Amino acid sequence: MIKPDFTQPVPADLGKVHFVGIGGSGMSGIAAMLMGMGHKVTGSDLRDTATVAKLRELGAEIFIGHDAKNLGDPDTVVVTSALWPTNPEYLLAKERGIPVIHRSQALAYLTSKKRVIAVAGAHGKTTSTGMIVTGLMGLGEDPSFVNGGVIASLDVSSAAGTSELFVIEADESDGSFLHYETAIALITNVDADHLDHYGSEAAFEAEFGRFAQGAREFVAVSSDDPGAVRVTALIRDKRIISFGFVNSATVRLHEVDASGAQVSFKLEYDGQVFSATLTVPGEHNAINAAGAFAVLVGLGYDPAKSLESISQFGGTERRFQLHGEERGVKVYDDFAHHPTEVSAAIKAARAVVGEGRLITVFQPHLYSRTRLMAKEFAAALSASDEVVVLDIYAAREDPEPGVTGALVSEAFANQAQVHYVPEWADVPAVAAKLAGPGDFIMTMGCGDIYRMVPELLHALQK
């Protein structure tokens, strides 16, 4: 992976912009917004995805594969930390002296002169951002936003609004979330991750402390997550709105019913109790809603109307997303890629599947995360009835000797429920054979595992 050069000044006018890795969840939203502002956008990506197709419809010229000839003559090049330092487009841009900026710098460019609500955390960022955007729209606001996933009800991950508010998903993976002029910070949780970048859990939490301290107006933060509690202790002279189950929380969550396809709960705030039912499942989504509620009431919106608006949230792409059904077996996809996320996603899926069985098809992401958390992944995944484990989606890391998906499968206490299938082509038939009418198959991971969904449906057909 490349190390972002945040010393590179951002041009006053980005001009014609070339995105290296334009199909990424963060990059695509920024590219779409720049096109909406009148910028000419080109880009490249490894695969021709639905996201790439949407950007082409908006007018972007996009090349598949990375090649120096793709660069053309841009005024600015936008990159992500996931790129290899040998990327030919990146190297040519540096050689030609074209300003190369990190995607967080491009996002900071978009948010300048706006009142920024930045959502950070190891899990729940995309959903919480979507809930805040949905809530604001229901309250009559027209916010700008850039999210890490498509908001289902809007069918977009970004848009330019007319109000002063700009809601963003702030990525903590490489420290780039410190580069925004944040007015309101929401910290969903601080569960140790990205230790390949930070080196230690203490360093990870310290960076969140700096992020929170940078918020000009207030910080909404979990009262339950241990890491978030430690970060809260680092905050000085800031207005803090806590949310969670503990009695001392500013926004107290209780009476959660996550036993079905929807989750119901109550929020206690400022001496009043408010009830809601979401159209998405899982206790974790009730917690996400509490965080979004904390942001809206912190901004001064009416509590009852805020929660009513948040309740209209219909989910985001790749978060327990149903793709189809064959032979009575439903196939879902989920982005979960950390043990805590995996556990929450499986718990929610089990509540929905009822008497059926859950078959999780898991693709580990990153060698370092797999090496450090193999046992935790196995413990979380074991809540499924059957688990198929693939090999690792490498992303931005070099392979590590001896580190494969087998580390996860070998860590299962019950070896009868886990199937290590390293070859992609073999997985659909294995998963389809395990499933029967009334069961769910759920692909899981933040790599390219979503591409297997059509193959699974086809295997079920056969």
Question: Which residues does the annotation mark as catalytic?
Answer: 125-126, 169
Yes or no: say if 263 and 285 are a contact pair by the CB < 8 Å rule. yes
Yes or no: say if 43 and 60 are a contact pair by the CB < 8 Å rule. yes
Query: Where do runs of H (alpha helix) occur along 313-364?
Result: 339-353
d(CA 374, CA 297): 40
User: What number of other Cβ atoms are within 10 A of residue 140's Cβ?
Assistant: 10
- The identity of residue 460, as a single letter, is L
Yes or no: say if 372 and 195 are a contact pair by the CB < 8 Å rule. yes
Yes or no: say if 389 and 364 are a contact pair by the CB < 8 Å rule. yes
CB contact set of 76 (below 8 Å; sequence gap of 6+): 11, 14, 15, 16, 17, 18, 98, 99, 100, 101, 106
Angle at 447 between CA 279 and CA 390, to 5 degrees: 105
From residue 399, alpha-carbon distances to 116, 150, 372 in Å are 38, 31, 14
* Residue 393: CA count within 13 A, CB half-sphere: 17
386-389 and 358-362: which strand pairing?
A: parallel
Q: What is the rounded (10 degree) CA torsion for 261, 262, 264, 267?
A: 130
Residue 199 DSSP class:
S
d(CA 357, CA 386): 8
Rg of the chain taking only CA atoms, in angstroms = 22
